[in-house]
Structure 1
């Protein structure tokens, strides 16, 4: 895969449904979702480059790097007529891939991802302080020299904190300073007031596709009861106004890393939506 390898889960046969994770995750995030989605369909869940069990090339791990390696993975497997499911940065990468390969996309389901340009002024006090910390030298030390990002994701970013045994697969994937470099880059890539510029430009490009692609069914899953949620209130209203062919389904309480809190509900919603739109031909 270019100069490295992409690890991926692969189960079932038929039309491909690709599950893309975010930060600081891996395909392990989908471990309880994939079995509940079931068939028909080929369910695929890659580890993004540098993450999980994928290769760790010497690259910057910017948004464009992840998109480039994903492009190669899609092409190597010859995936066509794809249904995309994306969470967090996986949602942004799904939108980006769909916008650049519209002829290969059948549908997109997403939740807790970056749907539009953002600004510092719209962040709450907690998210703003966290973003400022991550972009500082102290934030770099916390992320690279410690388990800060993984542990906070699965304690504060979920309603049901993971115990040490449940945390182990995530911690083992990011056990060294070098292995945590992609996590830091992702955490610093949230586009605020146009910075970083490459990510902000990608969001603006895929927003145009989201608004114009009325022939591609889309499903937005929403949640409640957590201060870590991205898509609610004004952002949710923006989605309803600006994303074509969109269905919105509310699934109840969950944190930002919702597959840890609500895997069965997520799987059931995706399966039902795919069935309604004949996205899973046997």
Structure 2
């Protein structure tokens, strides 16, 4: 596995790469990094693909420029990264916010995206706070309360220390947890982690994120773009209701249940994800 950086937009993005063949770009969410995919990409590479796992700007080993770290910032940096590497005939695989980015890129750059796979990402804006279960509603209202969210995430590193382990069925080893802590030892480096909960589109706020998530539904309905939804039981962001919606409204969509899991599925089900991806990637294009 090769580790490298590429200069984009006055900063740099770090990525790891393994294998040869048509490119498969893996995108993570909050508060993870390319490390999330470590137990997935080797297996997919062995099936004959060039696997590239990116650290989003401000996260993992990528640069930390002065930004707001909003979704639109990440979209621009991922676009610049793909341009810098000259990637085409591309498959994009996304988890969490990486899934939103993957679907957005497929929608805006259809000519260079051949397939999209996604898991545990926002497929719909949330109409009302009351649509969230009580625990999630209380948590995200706290995280979006000025002063409270900053204390929890920036000062106490709440997402790495609490949210990440709680979203994994197994127990992370000390080495694994330290790898996730490494980019955020300095509280000042935790701004991107704090920003992501503010970006969840709830009751139309933020409006631009709600619009992007809603527009991405056109990708799910595209009958000519192969897509793969990987979901677990019980899931978290994508639970039974979202899976049912995808079965009804998705086109050219393969849906695979990978077994028990909540949110950070590549930590609990890496072998199942790699197997499902390898099989799906080997299918003929539409």
**1 CA distance for matches of 2:141 and 2:74?**
24
Higher relative contact order (CA closer than 8 Å, sequence separation 6+): 1
**1 CA distance for matches of 2:39 and 2:92?**
17
Match of residue 74 from structure 2: 66
In the TM superposition, residue 37 of structure 1 has moved relative to its aligned partner by 1.5
In the TM superposition, residue 278 of structure 1 has moved relative to its aligned partner by 5.2
Match of residue 31 from structure 1: 38
**Superposed, which structure 2 residues align to 1:201-212 within 5 Å?**
201-211=211-221
Select which of 151, 166, 180 maps to 2:176: 166
* Partners of 1:20 and 1:86 within 8 A in 2: yes
Match of residue 95 from structure 1: 103
- Specify which structure has the higher proportion of strand: 2
2:251 maps to 1:244:
yes
Moved over 6 A (4+): none
Say which is worse superposed, 262-271 or 198-207, in terms of deviation.
198-207
In the TM superposition, residue 154 of structure 1 has moved relative to its aligned partner by 2.9
Q: Secondary structure at the match of 1:5?
A: strand
TM-score, normalised to structure 2's length? 0.93
**2 CA distance for matches of 1:80 and 1:165?**
35
Q: Secondary structure at the match of 1:272?
A: helix
Q: CA RMSD in A?
A: 1.3
**1 CA distance for matches of 2:160 and 2:244?**
30
Q: Which structure 1 segments of 5+ residues have no match?
A: none
Q: How many residues align?
A: 276
| CA deviation profile, 1:205-245 (whole Å, cap 9, x unmatched) | 2212322x21111111111146xx11122211111222221
**2 CA distance for matches of 1:43 and 1:175?**
28
Match of residue 55 from structure 2: 47
Select which of 98, 114, 122 maps to 2:131: 122
Match of residue 223 from structure 1: 232
**2 CA distance for matches of 1:97 and 1:272?**
23
Q: Which structure 2 segments of 5+ residues have no match?
A: 1-7
Match of residue 185 from structure 1: 195
**2 CA distance for matches of 1:242 and 1:3?**
41
| CA deviation profile, 1:150-172 (whole Å, cap 9, x unmatched) | 12233211101213222001101
Match of residue 204 from structure 2: 194
